[in-house]
């Protein structure tokens, strides 16, 4: 694996992403997460398709991933066409010691949650900076536009700080692939991620928040450390 020319962080992402591709076997349906670390997994899958004749189909979690898979020649199907998803490979923004996650910096966490829930196994790939002693936020939250003022009011009542995610090189808020608005919520603390996940998701108008606390029993985390990939959870 050639990592020359990459920054140390990108090298770490490549180690994790390439290792995740080793878990994929012939004939699998693979959920393809969104983000720069999963991009390395997809690149390695393309290499294996060329070198080994690996046959897979992917289910993308975003328009970005769809475009990336198309450029690599990875065949895709829709979620409705899949009888099952064998493995989903995805990234995370924070990972605590119990493998609970915060996701959604790429505004794709709603589709990522659906695909993760439909998967037999979830592999999370990350560089070491994503490991933390406890989740802190900010927590991405996708909301329907009509609920904007109501959701912000409810989050303010819960304490902490709420901001509307603004676009880069675009005036106004970030709009998800689903046509919704993305908020970023930093609570005072997160002593119980599962409880906070439920509380946020129960606010009318919230589509889904970026806390992923329900998938730990089927999760493997791969951290791309300098000495090699470190595996946490299921081998």
Ordered per-residue pLDDT tens for the chain, 235 residues: 666 689 999 999 999 999 999 999 999 999 999 999 999 999 999 999 999 999 999 999 999 999 999 999 999 999 999 999 999 999 999 999 999 999 999 999 999 999 999 999 999 999 999 999 999 999 999 999 999 999 999 999 999 999 999 998 889 999 999 999 999 999 999 999 999 999 999 999 999 999 999 999 999 999 999 999 999 998 8
**pTM of the full structure:** 0.95
Contact 154, 203 (CB under 8 A): yes
Question: Are residues 77 and 113 both part of a single domain?
Answer: yes
> What are the DSSP calls for 1-17, one per residue?
---TTS-HHHHHHHHHH
What are the two backbone dihedrals, phi and then psi, of residue 111, each rounded to the nearest 5 degrees?
Answer: -65, -35
Helix (H, G, I), strand (E, B) or coil at 147: helix
Examine residue 96 and state whether it is found in any structural domain, yes or no.
yes
- State whether 122 and 63 are in the same domain: yes
Residue 103 annotated as lining a ligand binding site: yes
The number of CA neighbours under 13 Å toward the Cβ of 46 is 15
**Was 35 annotated as part of a binding site?**
yes
79 and 14 part of one domain:
yes
**What values do phi and psi take at 117, rounded to 5?**
-65, -30
- pLDDT reported for residue 151: 98
Identify the helix (H) or strand (E) that includes residue 45.
helix 36-52
Same domain, 22 and 117: yes
- Whether 42 is in a domain gets the answer yes
CATH of the domain at 157: 3.30.70.260
Indicate if 42 and 17 belong to the same structural domain: yes
Q: Give SS3 for 216.
A: helix
Given the residues 47, 83, 112, 157, the one annotated as active site: 112
Per the domain annotation, does 58 fall within a domain?
A: yes
- Report the pLDDT value the prediction gives residue 5, as an integer from 0 to 100: 87
pLDDT of residue 62: 98
Residue 39, in any domain of the structure: yes
Peptide bond into 231 cis (omega under 30): no
Q: Is 166 one of the annotated active-site residues of the chain?
A: no
For residues 102 and 34, membership in a common domain is answered with yes
pLDDT value of position 60: 98
| pLDDT in the model for residue 169 | 84
Q: What pLDDT score was predicted for residue 102?
A: 98
Whether residue 174 lies inside any domain: the answer is yes
pLDDT of residue 235: 87
Domain that holds residue 156: 139-210
120 in a labelled binding site: no
pLDDT at position 173 is: 95
Would the annotation count 31 as a binding residue? Answer: no
Q: Is 224 annotated as a binding residue?
A: no
The verdict on 82 and 149 lying in the same domain is no
Has residue 234 been placed in a domain? no
Task: Determine phi and psi for 59, rounding to 5 degrees.
Answer: -120, 110
Work out the angle at residue 106's Cα, subtended by the Cα atoms of residues 102 and 107, and round it to the nearest 5 degrees: 85
CB-CB contact of 225 with 8 (8 Å): no
Q: Is 184 annotated as a binding residue?
A: no
Report how many domains make up the chain: 2
Is 233 within the bounds of a domain?
no
Residues recorded for the chain: 235
């Amino acid at each position: 694996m050639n990592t020359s020319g990459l920054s140390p962080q990108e090298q770490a992402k490549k180690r994790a992403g390439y290792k995740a591709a080793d878990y994929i076997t012939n004939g699998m349906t693979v959920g393809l997460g969104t983000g720069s670390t999963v991009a390395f997994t997809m690149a390695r899958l393309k290499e294996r398709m060329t070198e080994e004749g690996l046959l897979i189909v992917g289910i993308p979690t975003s328009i970005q991933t769809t475009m990336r898979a198309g450029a690599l020649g990875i065949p895709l199907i829709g979620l409705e066409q899949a009888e099952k998803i064998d493995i989903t490979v995805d990234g995370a923004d924070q990972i605590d010691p119990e493998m609970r996650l915060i996701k959604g910096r790429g505004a794709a966490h709603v589709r990522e949650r659906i695909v993760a829930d439909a998967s037999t196994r979830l592999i999370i790939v990350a560089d070491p900076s994503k490991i933390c002693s406890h989740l802190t936020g900010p927590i991405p939250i996708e909301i329907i536009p009509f609920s904007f003022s109501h959701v912000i009011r409810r989050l303010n009542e819960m304490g902490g700080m709420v901001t509307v995610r603004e676009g880069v090189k675009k005036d106004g808020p970030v709009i998800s692939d689903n046509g919704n608005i993305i908020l970023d919520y930093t609570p005072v603390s997160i002593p119980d991620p599962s409880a906070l996940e439920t509380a946020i998701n129960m606010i009318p108008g919230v589509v889904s928040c970026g806390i992923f606390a329900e998938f730990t029993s089927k999760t493997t985390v791969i951290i791309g450390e300098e000495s090699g990939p470190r595996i946490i959870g299921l081998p």
